[in-house]
Structure 1
Amino acid sequence: MSVKQSHTAASPRQALMGIVGLLACALAHGQTPALVTEPQAASCPAGFAPLPPTDAEAQRAALRRAQTHSLLCENRADYHAHLGALLLALNQAAQAANSLEKSLLLNPEQPGTQLDFAHALALLGETASAQQIVNQVSARPDIHPSLRQWLLDTSGDRPAALSKWSWAQLLQTTAGHETNLSSATHANAITLFLSNGPVLVPLDDGSKPQSGAGLKNLLAVQGQSPAGGPDLRLTMALQTRQAAGVPENHMAAVSATYVEPFKAGQLHVRWDGHHFHRNNSFTYQDQGLTLQYHFAPWTMPCKWRTSLGSADQTYTSSSNLNGRFTQVRLEGSCKHTDQTETHWGIGTGHDRAQATQRPGGDKKRQDWTIRHERLVGKVSTQAWLRQTILQDSERFSPLLGDLVNRSTRIDWGTGAWWPVAPQWSAGLDVESTSQKSSNALLNIKNLSIYAGLRWTSK
């Protein structure tokens, strides 16, 4: 059934939410009307109601019935569209977005489901993505002219709730153990090339890795500008780590992003700043701009982005290490129908020294990363792996002879978080770092295990 036919069969939905007022008309889903049937022993119902009930209690009852079909109807696009519409009617935007996206993974040709998905994204603050979906639906050749005009006319309408900045917060505290709290070298000795010949110099115990217990605290805040205006996004994070016998670590990160729809994708202009401080021993900070283009060259489930960025790196206690890092990256993310997501990225960059006497001179860097996330029941799990190769252009120091550093670092991690109460979850994170270098001073290993509590609010 075409969108044109659907529009003649029913009137537009009355709830105008998000940036578009997005619920267009009764049968914009392009689905055949059918009543929800009672669950059968071994099969999924033949069809689902294209619209949720108008009464809240009836909506909750319909949601309970629909959830009993989750196993039988896992591969049915109309089931996930129906489930998403019910969740959206009950103002459960995040869960609705997941169900609606799963429906579109199974069948992308559902204009009504696309509008519901855009509605959910708008409620979650993804206004640029929501507007882009509405534009795609409006451009369909089979859409009724009056419905197209209605979508265009109402794209600026929004309730007062979306006329303010929206914020999400995360607070996390974990306790655990690390095998190398100060990121010390694993080398026992180094060879120095002096005027009278090479000399083997053993390292003292204070330079060796120290294991022990640690306490980490993390505060993160994300903000989204009001719908209908410029799409601005802010992110702020502060993390501390305390451990007996080593300096306390502090890390702060701030980013601001402007998003603009462009052709079939989105342009992101982002400013980032980072500050790392280890009490009385080390301070590092950087800031820079990145230009990204987000696009989906084919249909879902995969989205891609390319980026070009540059950042000034400053070491306040060792200015001869300062540099400017420029990189290009290609990244992607794929959502699958089994409630999993895969994210990956590859990049290459050049760290140009700002001082001629910097040890190692200019540096080249290549890296790749992959992360896989999965929801198992209500448990959120993830695993990730990253490799970074850093190559100096000059020898590190005359005391080390003609040695030119080449380091390969492999990081991996895994974690699982269980919901224990509304907005609260308990979890465990395991991370490992292993760096091997032609310079023995840069051989580093660390294994950390932390467990704790997380609070989130949106």
Structure 2
Amino acid sequence: MEDAAGSSADAGDGLGGVRLVDYCGVLANSAWPRTPVARRALLHRFEILRPQCMTHAPFLAVLGALWLEEGEPAQAMVWLERSLMLQPEQLGAQADHALALAALGETAARDALAQQWAHRADVPPALLQRLNQRPVAKSSDQPGGGGQSATPANTVDGWVFYSEASALSGYESNLSYSPRLNELTLTPPNEPPVTLSVSSRPRRGAALVTEQSGQLAYSPRQGMIVQAGVQGSIRHAPSESSTDWHHIQVVGAVSQQWDLWRGGLQASVTQVGGALSEAYQLARFGVSVDREAIGCGIRLTIEGENRKHEQTASQDGRTVGALWSQQCPLPGNNWVWGFALRRSVDSPVDPSRPGGVQRQTSLGLRLAGALNGRYRLELGWRSGLVTDSAGYNVLIRDGAIRRLNQHQFSLELARSLQLSWMQGAEGLIQVTAARQLSNLPIFPYTGVSVYGGLRWRW
């Protein structure tokens, strides 16, 4: 089963399950600094990547807010106005823009906005309170200010570092993605069908998943970002240790910005292994073009993949595909939605591979946003269709051509823990439900997993 399930598992994910960090988005979602020194450290990180994030509206909105807190309303105005030109519906940026005008002596916009929002149910009370604040004092007048500058530990000479680790425990109803079968009918050529009694049941049980990644970015010149990263993850099921697996991936990329356009190259090498499945390696390369349009980020990627198994060379394959993805903000709030459409063809290295050429199509949908100041919700749905070009096995339904319909739903609820000694930590609940349908009886499966634990980003 691995030739189908493995080759299509990443459908809709571009160049793999692990993607290089979108540093503009990561910084835009940073926890708000609690001290002037921490604020200047974050501002320093923003200024390093500002040339590459000039079309990222949330990034520019936070940059303006940081300058406003520093007591520089004129500087804040530059980035807040640009942010609102890209995404006019941002409530936080609208409030900061009005406050910046008030700090410069033009209070009419602040007062008008406060009156306009007074009876709107979608405006958080804290945002209304901010509109009635006094102008921000100069940073040198703030406690602990004094005009000092600080460089964060993960920013060195223009290099920006990003790390993430998570530890989750939970339960899976199908640890090995096995079918549920009581009997199997074989169809030998020129002979009557033979029905065999079999016993195939999903393995279920508790499991632990740990993951760690580290990434860095550097800007050698304006508009260019060079990135590299490594990620590893392990799953261990104490009662079903034969289903354990491990995964490690190394990724590199370079991108260049030209006004509203960005072009990029990305490459990755992935190693996947486990007791039940044969280890295999994926080498991927992609070329992408991005553009900001009507507040949305749009990307087209052309990618290629070479898959090599450790022992069974007949399962090796080469894939060529195209991915169209788009992410847009929802009007009037800080939620975003997106989709990814992928089409690919997986050609076998060995012509005798069961099923021959695989044609894969998948569609992924995503919705993510903040429920309030400390909770964040992300929902995802992915559906895919895999069709072979030749019969899979003459002993199964007279060599019928295999078709797979794959569906997966995911939910992640995160809560910021706001720990002074562990900034960037959050509690997690993750729920995933997967189902694969097929016209051949050995391929269908269903599985549900529920995990909870801790994730730390720094």
- Normalised by the size of structure 1, how large is the TM-score? 0.67
In 2, Cα distance between equivalents of 1:395 and 1:294: 39
Residue 51 of structure 1, CA deviation: 8.4
SS in 2 for 1:356: coil
CA distance in 2, matches of 1:193, 1:276: 34
Assess, with a 3 A threshold, how the Cα gap between structure 1 residues 272 and 161 changes in structure 2: closer, same or farther. Answer: closer
Tell me which amino acid in the other structure corresponds to 1:170: E
Give the equivalent residue in structure 1 for 2:272. Answer: 276
Q: Say if 1:256 and 1:46 are closer, same or farther in 2 by CA, change over 3 A.
A: closer
**Aligned counterpart, 1:220:** 213
**1:370 correspondence with 2:365:** yes
Distance 1:46 1:246 in 2: 56
1:29 aligns with 2:106: no
For the 8 Å contact 2:232–2:249, the answer to whether it is kept is yes
Q: Which residue of 2 aligns with 1:18?
A: 48
Correspondence for 1:130: none
Tell me the distance in 2 between the aligned counterparts of 1:241 and 1:263.
43
SS at match of 1:399: coil
For the 8 Å contact 1:48–1:79, the answer to whether it is kept is no
Q: Tell whether the 8 Å contact from 1:162 to 1:226 is kept in structure 2 after alignment.
A: no
- Three-state SS of the structure 1 residue aligned to 2:401 is coil
Matched with 2:386 is 390
Letter in 1 for 2:399: D
Root mean square deviation of aligned Cα: 3.9
The residue aligned with 2:375 is: 379
Give the Å deviation of 1:319: 1.2
Q: Given that residues 187 and 443 in structure 1 are in contact (C-alpha distance below 8 angstroms), is that contact kept between their aligned partners in structure 2? A: no
Report how far residue 445 of structure 1 moved.
Answer: 0.9
Shift of 1:245: 2.1
Contiguous gaps of at least 5 residues in structure 1 = 1-14, 33-43, 54-67, 91-122, 125-159
The DSSP-based 3-state class of the residue aligned with 1:18 is helix
TM-superposed CA distance for 1:188, in Å, is 2.6
The corresponding residue for 2:166 is 172
CA distance in 1, matches of 2:251, 2:132: 37
SS in 2 for 1:49: helix
* Structure 1 SS opposite 2:100: coil
Q: Decide whether aligned partners of structure 1 residues 319 and 376 sit closer, same or farther in structure 2, where only a CA change above 3 A counts.
A: same
1:410 to 407, 410, 415: 407
In 1: Cα distance, 2:315 partner to 2:206 partner: 31
- The equivalent residue for 2:347 is 352
CA gap 1:70/1:346 in 2 versus in 1, 3 angstroms: farther
1:225-374 equivalences under 5 Å are 225-226=218-219, 228=221, 230-243=224-237, 244-247=239-242, 248-262=244-258, 264-279=260-275, 281-296=277-292, 298-300=293-295, 302-336=296-330, 337-374=332-369
Offset at 1:46?
11
Supply the distance in 2 between the matched residues of 1:82 and 1:50 (Cα, whole angstroms): 13
In the comparison of the two structures, how many residue pairs are matched?
346
> 2: CA distance between counterparts of 1:305 and 1:266?
9
Quickly say closer, same or farther: Cα 1:161–1:428, change in 2 above 3 A: closer
Q: CA 1:268 to 1:424, structure 2 compared with 1: closer, same or farther past 3 Å?
A: same
Shift in alpha-carbon separation, 1:365–1:260, aligned structure 2, 3 A? same
Judged with a 3 Å threshold, the aligned counterparts in structure 2 of structure 1 residues 231 and 398 are, in CA distance, closer, same or farther, namely same
Partner of 1:441, secondary structure, is coil
Bigger mean CA offset, 73-82 vs 229-238: 73-82
Counterpart of 1:456?
457
Q: Could you tell me which amino acid in structure 1 is paired with residue 385 of structure 2? A: I
The aligned residue for residue 118 of structure 1 is none
1:370 CA displacement: 0.5
Counterpart contact for 1:391–1:405, Cα < 8 Å: yes
Quick one: structure 1 residues 197 and 172, their matched pair in 2 at CA, closer, same or farther if it must change by over 3 Å?
same
AA in 1 matched with 2:266? R
AA aligned to 1:419 is S
Question: Which moves more between the two structures, 241-250 or 437-446?
Answer: 241-250
Contact 1:26 1:51 survives alignment (8 Å):
no
User: Is the 2:48–2:158 Cα contact (8 Å) retained in structure 1?
Assistant: no
Which residues in structure 2 correspond to 1:83-162 (within 5 Å)? none
Q: Is the 8 A contact 2:267 2:283 kept in 1?
A: yes
For residues 34-113 of structure 1, the aligned pairs below 5 Å read 47-50=98-101, 72=118
Deviation at 1:406, TM superposition (A): 0.5
The Cα shift of 1:379 comes to 0.4
Which amino acid is the alignment partner of residue 246 of structure 1? S
Question: CA shift at 1:26, angstroms?
Answer: 3.0
AA aligned opposite 2:400: L
Deviation at 1:418, TM superposition (A): 1.1
Cα 1:319–1:19 change in 2 (3 A) is: closer
Matched letter for residue 215 of structure 1: L
| Aligned equivalents of 1:359, 1:312: Cα separation in 2 | 18
Q: Summarize the Cα distance change of 1:266–1:202 in structure 2 as closer, same or farther, 3 Å threshold.
A: same
* Residue of structure 1 in register with 2:3 after alignment: none
Aligned equivalents of 1:286 and 1:402: distance in 2? 29
Structure 1 residue identity aligned to 2:368: E
User: Looking at CA atoms only, which structure, 1 or 2, has the larger radius of gyration?
Assistant: 1
The aligned amino acid for 1:397 is N
Instruction: Give the partner amino acid of 1:267.
Output: G
Structure-2 separation of matches of 1:46 and 1:322: 56
* AA matched with 1:264: L
Aligned AA (1:404):
I
Residue deviations 1:406-453 (CA, integer Å, cap 9, x gap): 000000111211122232211210001100001111101110001111
